Chain A
Amino acid sequence: MVYKLKVNKKDYSVDATPDMPLLWVLRDLLGLTGTKFGCGMAQCGACTVHLEGEAVRSCVTLIARAAGKEVTTIEGLSPDSKHPLQVAWLEEDTPQCGYCQSGQIMAAAVLLRENADPTDEDIDHAMSGNICRCGTYPRIRKAIHLAAKLQKQGGTK
């Protein structure tokens, strides 16, 4: 079946079965491999992308749900990789192995959109579903605080 969807502001038509996870569509059909497969059961957050602006787990979100809607992946978070979170992530040297980090950033982007000045507790509530096996949590927290500051200053987009 052919589905139309908009990914990172570009229109795509993909031939997929209705039960194909969005993650498969992104990685295997569209070649957008920045989004990672972690657990395959919505437990770890590595596959987090935005569907109509919400941080869905693309491993359990079927293409049928995403059809006709707007999807944003890590590749489309900003046109020039200068989203405050991306800048802050580099600044704080946040990743270790890096595998979970695109999911972490996509989750944090929803937090910063809805709460421009998050406390540690807000960060916990937003990010506790995104697991990092390297344990980079303290650096993730620092980077989110920095990104909030950058966002306020408007120095990066």
Chain B
Amino acid sequence: MNSVLPKQHILFVQNGIQSVFAKSVSPSVVIPCRKRVYYGSGKHKGGMIGRYGRRKYPPNWRAVNFNPAQIPKAWKPLDWDEKNRIDYEYESKLAQYIPGYKPKVPPHRREDHHDEPMHAIDNETCSSYGFPQALALTKSVVVEGGLPAKLQELQKSLPNPEDKVIKIMQNALLFDVDPCMVDTKNAVKRYKFDNFRHPTPERYCPRILKEFVRLCDAHICRVSDKYHDRFNMQNLPCKTWFQRAEKTSENVDILDVSYDWKVSIDVKTFMQLLSKNPLSLFATPDEVEETKNRELVSIYPKLLIHSIKPTHNYTPEHTTGFLETWHKPHLHTMVLNTTNDHSSKKTMGRMLFHLFCALHSRAVQQYGETPQVLAKPLAAQAIASDGRQFYAMTFQLNTTDLKDDSGVKNMVWTSAPLTDDLQIEDQYTPTLLFDECSPLLSYYPDYYHGYSPDAFATFQALWLNDVL
């Protein structure tokens, strides 16, 4: 249409777009506007159809699939498969020309590939299996009556500095300022009630736990000389693997299942207290012998490896996190930060897996890899907390022979009471440090409510066990 126009009017045209100025000067003249596409074929070709002068459907409507059953596939991005595909040939070429480049290798060609699968328990997944499954998998039995008698005495006898504990709690929850959140340039406009930001559990939980440790260590320094026999370590990795077998009833026929498994545990604990001397045992040899008569908790119809993922790529090894020549090798207490576990069943399962992993790797260092009933059992303690709820657990490793359900079993003591139906209900009651603590509690003069001294008493009893 450009060629039809007289030359004098081309001045008013700007890059083929219709301008307002051109319209006002000469409205009668047709000015080339943005090119309009008229879809159509046959007799409708090039013509104006419909109210708005253009066709509703594009010319490629035969190619478009209007079948609603296949719509979801059509929503999938076209390059999805291409982006998520790993080109192993290209990776090998990259490794040729880039020094230090680690190419991605298909899993069956890696060095750590094994034919027999290993069921791997990870630091993230170890809380998802729950306490009953952890008990059955580690072949351990719960001793009724709460924590051991020695620890219960310590809870009552040790002095409980309530003022200091309340100050720690208030510092973490009321007066703490996260440096990441500080607005130094005053860029963000704050409203009247928006001035205070509640500290998150990720912030206040480790703060409270570290302060509790400091308070207990100060007590040790005052009372005895054993402070230097101990060593506190954060984020210590730990790894073991073991073999476990299960007998099932005659009726159960499941496809592709063997009843003899390899299980590995690979965890990293928040805090581990190590000592020169081993922790004193919680059960006498006679009590250990009595566990032969007890039965493991049944998790029927689940198998022991229920929802634990098998992998063919693994390196079977036992590590405590230190060399064997390390002069403080014995585990005393471990502290777990369980802000991400949303139920007590998960927290207890995590505690048991962490304790078992640390002690089993030590037992293998001492007695070798052959599974056996230990001549000298190993014991350790664990405290788990999300800043408000506190759990305590003690564990005694009596045997590393987990192939059979009969025989000597490992023993567990917990602070929380147990119910009959372990699988469904979450009825392990933790001890609460406080019911509520927030600057919004203006009704209470100290801005907290429902403080209980039992939480720090149990923490202190475990931490100062075998010292005084």
* Mutual binders A and B: no
**Chain A interfacial positions (CB closer than 8 Å to B):** none
B residues neighboring A (CB under 8 Å): none
